[in-house]
Amino acid sequence: MKKQLLSYLSLALIFALATNSPVTATVPYGSLTGGFPGDLGPMLAKPSVVPGKEYSHDKDQETLAPGGILDPQQVIAWDGSGGVGDGVDFSGSRGNLYDPDDEVDAIANRGDHLFKELQGDADIPESAHLIFSHDDMISIYTTPTGTAGGALPIPFSVPSSGPVALSNGNIIGGAGELSYETAFAFTPASSQGVWATQPEINAMPLPRDVDGVEVWGPEPAFTADADKYSMDVDFFSGTSVWNASGTPYISQAAIAAAVTSLLGPVTGVLPYPNYIDGTDAINLDALMVQDSIRGTGDDTFDRDPTGAPGDQIIFSIRQIIDPSDPTGYYATGSELFVLDASTGASFLTHGGHLWDKAYALSDLSLPTSLVNGHAVIDINAIEAISATVIPEPSSAILLLTACMGLTLTRRRR
């Protein structure tokens, strides 16, 4: 079994090396009005008006060089109309704690907007829309779902651009795009589609695999609103979430404990880049953060001293294959977990359903016409958006002044 899995890894590595060459071109970042989440409703604010957008690419790239070149831990600012620029680079930020320049595979802000509105609770209904991307490389089985036990998977390259059809009948974007699921308060359950296309995220070179996203930062988005991040692979450093200051925020052991509390003991392996099994295989790759307990600052994941909910994150992990499981997976990679420092782990409820393994298998599988077998997408980036955007005060004043000037000019005429 191990030799066969290692052969799988060799194929995966060849694929990875063959698809990481940057293309030659770059469109400069354009101007964008700053602002904040506005109305919560059935519509979705367009990428071109949502401020402070950043993304991480697999593999990480910089944009200052013509066409972009590989640059581990570089985050990219994007304007929503195809223009990009270099954002924060986490290289060297950890000092002697962890030196290797690993890839960034998840980004967030310590106070992600719409965090509570995304999941809802007794006081706030679920009313924000989820946006997400998924990995360009997954594992597929050539046997039907439910008969995968004992069969070996093979690597599969998911298209970077849509349309990508899902088993629930929805059409979403590709691995280099951002898709959405609307809030259940306004639309039927599991209403999903495409939010940002490749040319809107980065016109040249088109992104192949968006593996982290952050929005609602200041403008221009070069100001590094992403102040929490994860690297690939977590167990190498022992940390799943890092602070921008270079200190650990959440350990890999804590994330592993959260996952196994819901999915049970780890079976199977993380198939690439190395043969990794056991709890070491649990690798966080999508992230939102709500650091609300201020007693010890924003750089620690804290319980509430009163016993109430503490600091929270929403996260996903990389797909973990398990040929001995009838489904073929220990984790599909599309489970979305909520971890509360006070109360523990649960699955995210959004879009009228639980984001657990059963939902991923039933609704997020790819059609047999595409994979010639069965496979599930692996979500690797998450964020939340509203229906509208409120311009920041300075922008609103300038807009009002311009309108007043235009009105006066017309009256003089």
Compute the average pLDDT of residues 140-145.
81
Report how far apart the first and last C-alpha atoms of the chain are (Å, whole number).
83
Q: Supply the pLDDT for residue 25.
A: 61
Contact 61, 74 (CB under 8 A): yes
Hunting for tokens 């590989």 — which residue is that? 70
Compute the average pLDDT of residues 229-253.
97
Q: Supply the pLDDT for residue 146.
A: 65
Q: Supply the pLDDT for residue 149.
A: 66
> Cis link prior to 220 (omega < 30° from 0)?
yes
Contact 200, 47 (CB under 8 A): yes
Compute the average pLDDT of residues 12-16.
43
Q: Supply the pLDDT for residue 405.
A: 46
Q: Decide if pLDDT at 38 tops 80.
A: yes
Q: Per-residue confidence at 275, pLDDT binned at 50, 70, 90?
A: confident
User: How much of the chain, in percent, has pLDDT values that exceed 70?
Assistant: 86
Q: How do residues 18-29 score in pLDDT, each as one tens digit?
A: 444 444 568 999
More confident residue, 338 or 68: 338
Q: How do residues 294-348 score in pLDDT, each as one tens digit?
A: 765 679 999 998 888 999 999 999 999 999 999 999 999 999 999 999 999 999 9
Q: Per-residue confidence at 246, pLDDT binned at 50, 70, 90?
A: very high
Hunting for tokens 């106070």 — which residue is that? 111
Q: Is 348 exposed, middle or buried (0-12, 13-18, 19+ CB in 10 A)?
A: buried
β-pair partners for 347: 337
Q: Supply the pLDDT for residue 190.
A: 97
- Which structure tokens are listed for 1? 């079994």
Q: Supply the pLDDT for residue 98.
A: 96
Compute the average pLDDT of residues 260-264.
98
Q: How do residues 341-383 score in pLDDT, each as one tens digit?
A: 999 999 999 999 999 999 999 999 999 989 988 999 999 999 9
Q: How do residues 151-167 score in pLDDT, each as one tens digit?
A: 789 999 999 999 999 99
Q: Per-residue confidence at 231, pLDDT binned at 50, 70, 90?
A: very high
Whole domain around residue 13: which residue ranges? 2-412
Residue 400: how many other CB atoms lie within 10 Å: 11
Which helix (H) or strand (E) is 164 found in, with range? strand 164-165
Amino acid at 70: L
- Chain center to CA of 311: 19
Q: Decide if pLDDT at 5 tops 90.
A: no
Q: Supply the pLDDT for residue 369.
A: 87
Total structural domains within the chain: 1
Measured in degrees and rounded to the nearest 5, phi and psi for residue 410 equal: -65, -40
Q: Supply the pLDDT for residue 342.
A: 95
More confident residue, 2 or 250: 250
Q: Supply the pLDDT for residue 14.
A: 41
Q: Per-residue confidence at 276, pLDDT binned at 50, 70, 90?
A: very high
Q: Per-residue confidence at 393, pLDDT binned at 50, 70, 90?
A: confident
- Could you please report the per-residue DSSP string of 333-394? S---EEEETTTEEEE-EETTEE-SHHHHHHHSBPPHHHHSSB-B--EEEEEEE-SSEEEPHH
Compute the average pLDDT of residues 62-73.
82
What distance in Å separates the CA atoms of residue 411 and residue 413, rounded to the nearest whole number? 5
Q: Cα-atom radius of gyration of the chain, to the nearest Å?
A: 21
Q: Decide if pLDDT at 70 tops 60.
A: yes
